[in-house]
A and B are shown apart, each in its own frame.
Chain A
Amino acid sequence: MTPEERKAFEDKVHAYVGREVNAPQKGKDDVNKAMIRHWAEVMGDENPAYTDEEYAAKSSKGGIIAPPSMLQIWSMEGYPMAHNPSQDVQRELHNVFDEHGFAGVLGTNTSAEYYRDLRPGDEVHAHTVIDKISEQKATQRGIGYFIETVTNFTDQNDEAVGKIIFRVLKFTPNDSNDATGGDDSDDGMPEAPTRIASPRGHDNKWWWDAVDEGKVLIQRCKSCQTLRHPPRPMCGECQSIEWDSIESTLDGEVFSFTELHYPKFPGYQYPLVCAVISLGEGTRIISNIVGCEPEDVYIGMKVKGKVEQVDEKTMLPQFYPAD
């Protein structure tokens, strides 16, 4: 898209902001016990306020209520969604995005407020308005725009019963994005992601190759004997580029550490303690502390390393309490 084309496109979509998706509509079914029970049954929800008339009547609820999370359900279009969804303003807006290459759609978040419990016999009327369209954003999924709609729900007396803000991303899918599209294994289950593979370049491939053989090496300057880690081409002391290596005994102590809580990376075991270890040879290495609770790790703790296989394709040094 040229800058002019982009501006024309953005003007076109921003003209939708403030428009109603459709006129206020009464849900096809009023709140009713059957749909409540069907929903609670699938959700495994044993809350007696939803399905046990006797209990509900005696409780402070004074009778059956619908799960508040059903609010939107009372206004759903139903089976036509599968084959012949209604062509409302929202779909028209999505079509404009589709035509300009933003064909991907992803619900990113919702925010619901429930003003009162709904009871069998209540009507639910929904009124949806396109509230906001963001600037163009580069997201993990690809470049796109967030569209925010607001639905206000009212009852048979025109009283507000709730409100839902719904945000979707319309985006151009990244070709490279396969974060959720892993290969199918034989049983059809997608494979769990493994750890990030070690990046092996010209200057450090030899080090990782040794780890694959179960050894942790430390680079040593051939001219002044200074040890260095991580691997790099030149000695910081004498600028020599001649080097060899020695094997570490992996005796060390904790120089510093932290525990990673969030976000959790698939493929890693939690709790996950990352530490800087001072090796007996004098260099430091970043690794994980395993074999004890995170609470038991402390600075100065003596540790002993082992090269271990941590997933199907990764060998890594890991450190255990030494005693």
Chain B
Amino acid sequence: MNKETLQYQDVAVGDKLPPLEIDISSSLIIGAAIASRDFTPVHHDKKAAQECGLPDVFMNILTSNGFMGRFVTDWAGPESTVKGIDIKLGAPNLPGFVMTVTGEVTAKNDDTGVVEVGVMGENNVWGMHMGGSVRIELPKSDQQGEV
């Protein structure tokens, strides 16, 4: 992750974020479901997932949402503030898949210092897993540019 927080004025619409590749394993799916206190059986019990028509346990929404946030703060740095996450879910993430997360700055709000990042997570087997946007506030350095 980037430990130097980006300044609002250093970011431009169209800037691309460094892609993030996530190896999806049973350990990740189950570990993250439990760490998010989501004990719904389909996220930790393969048999329960199969009864729902999927071959194996699948990633819960809180984890996908968490990766949306992490992907953007990895880029923005630790003094940024996540203000909102919109996520639309597509095909499930299963053990053995690799999800590649990509993103691009889509809007800036000069009044609030909030930057909107469009984010897409695609897995290598079924395609689009998640898409949406993250709104993140970046610090504004007061040296220049503000009157």
Contact = CB atoms under 8 A, between A and B. Distances in A.
B18 interface: no
B5 to A, nearest CB: 8
A109 B86 contact: yes
Nearest to B48: A82
Contacts of A42: 28, 31-32, 35
B14 interface: no
Contact of B40 (A49, A81, A192, A264): A81
A68 B69 contact: yes
Interface string B39-75: 1110011000000011110000111011111100110
A112 B37 contact: no
Contacts, number: 148
Interface residues of B, number: 53
Interface in B69-106: 69-70, 73-74, 78-79, 81-89, 91-92, 94, 96
Given A49-B79, A266-B125, A113 B88 contact: no
Interface in A264-290: 264-266
A171 to B, nearest CB: 13
Contacts of A69: 62, 65-66, 68-70, 82, 85
Q: Is the interface of B mostly helix, strand, loop or mixed?
A: mixed
Nearest to B30: A42
B66 A67 contact: yes
Contact of A112 (B36, B56, B85, B92): B85
Interface of B: 1, 3, 22, 28, 31-32, 35-41, 44-45, 53-56, 61-63, 65-70, 73-74, 78-79, 81-89, 91-92, 94, 96, 122, 124-128, 132, 139
18 contacts: A39-B32, A43-B32, A43-B66, A59-B79, A60-B139, A69-B68, A70-B36, A70-B66, A73-B37, A109-B86, A110-B65, A110-B87, A111-B84, A111-B85, A190-B125, A192-B125, A193-B126, A264-B128
Interface of A: 35, 38-39, 41-49, 55-56, 59-61, 67-70, 72-73, 76-82, 106-114, 117, 173, 179-181, 184, 187-190, 192-193, 263-266
